[in-house]
């Protein structure tokens, strides 16, 4: 994990091309996600935005040997990099990689299929995805949205939708770049 942290930081500092950046979560965010997944005894996790697999590995470790993480990424070079990191970690059997656009994937999933969803992707799409995200999340479970403080302006429409949704409770946690936690009611 430390190797991936260092790689992400040095890679991102060396380029201005956003498509080449890893944009990994912070270490304290990884710890936080692992704590939430373990405390919630989550076993079927969805991650939108794999990058090089750093956050995926935090989630895969947290679900335990009988859990799984499905992670969705569009960028072919990041998918290949993540696959190598999953193999090296020994956690690859817990991870299902999906190559493609997240919106279509989310729409195709079953009602209540996931007990935890982590969003770290194209924030402009979250509002569009919101109805499907609510549908695929099991009752009493969480969605965690990264960059809720660092990119708050990009989440304004999404935050309004969440606030207007019956049965949802949300809170902003000041860890890393800010984590928006959304609890789907029973």
Decide the pairing of beta strands 137-145 and 168-173: unpaired
How many residues belong to the chain? 186
- Into how many domains does the chain fold? 1
Beta bridge partners of 145: 119, 180
The two structure tokens encoding residue 30 = 């990884």
User: Is there a domain that residue 69 lies in?
Assistant: yes
Which domain range does residue 156 map to? 25-184
User: Is there a domain that residue 141 lies in?
Assistant: yes
- Mean pLDDT along residues 78-105: 95
User: Is there a domain that residue 20 lies in?
Assistant: no
User: Is there a domain that residue 94 lies in?
Assistant: yes
Confidence at residue 22, expressed as pLDDT on a 0 to 100 scale = 59
User: Is there a domain that residue 79 lies in?
Assistant: yes
**Strand runs labelled E in the chain:** 44-48, 68-73, 95-99, 114-119, 137-145, 168-173, 179-184
Confidence at residue 29, expressed as pLDDT on a 0 to 100 scale = 96
pLDDT tens string 152-168: 999 999 999 999 999 99
Quote the DSSP letter at residue 90.
T
Confidence at residue 27, expressed as pLDDT on a 0 to 100 scale = 92
User: Is there a domain that residue 18 lies in?
Assistant: no
User: Is there a domain that residue 16 lies in?
Assistant: no
Confidence at residue 12, expressed as pLDDT on a 0 to 100 scale = 60
36 CB-side CA count, 13 A? 24
pLDDT tens string 9-58: 765 677 786 766 556 778 999 999 999 999 999 999 999 999 889 999 99
pLDDT tens string 168-181: 999 999 999 999 99
Residue 8 has pLDDT above 70, yes or no: no
Q: How confident is the model at residue 184 (pLDDT cuts 50, 70, 90)?
A: very high
User: Is there a domain that residue 61 lies in?
Assistant: yes
CATH number of the domain to which 149 belongs:
3.40.50.150
């Amino acid at each position: 994990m430390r190797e991936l942290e260092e790689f992400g930081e040095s890679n991102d500092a060396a380029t201005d091309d956003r498509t080449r950046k890893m944009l990994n979560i912070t270490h304290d965010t990884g710890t936080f996600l692992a704590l939430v997944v373990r405390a919630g005894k989550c076993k079927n996790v969805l991650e939108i935005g794999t990058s090089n697999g750093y956050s995926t590995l935090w989630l895969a470790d947290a679900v335990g040997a009988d859990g799984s993480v499905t992670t969705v990424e569009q960028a072919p070079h990041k998918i290949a990099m993540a696959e190598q990191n999953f193999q090296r970690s020994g956690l690859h059997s817990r991870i299902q990689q999906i190559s493609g656009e997240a919106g279509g994937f989310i729409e195709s999933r079953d009602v209540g299929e996931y007990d935890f969803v982590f969003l770290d992707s194209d924030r402009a799409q979250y509002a569009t995805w919101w109805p499907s995200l609510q549908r695929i999340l099991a009752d009493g479970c969480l969605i965690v949205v990264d960059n809720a403080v660092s990119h708050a302006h990009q989440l304004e429409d999404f935050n309004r939708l969440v606030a207007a949704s019956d049965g949802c409770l949300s809170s902003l946690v000041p860890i890393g770049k800010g984590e928006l936690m959304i609890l789907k009611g029973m």
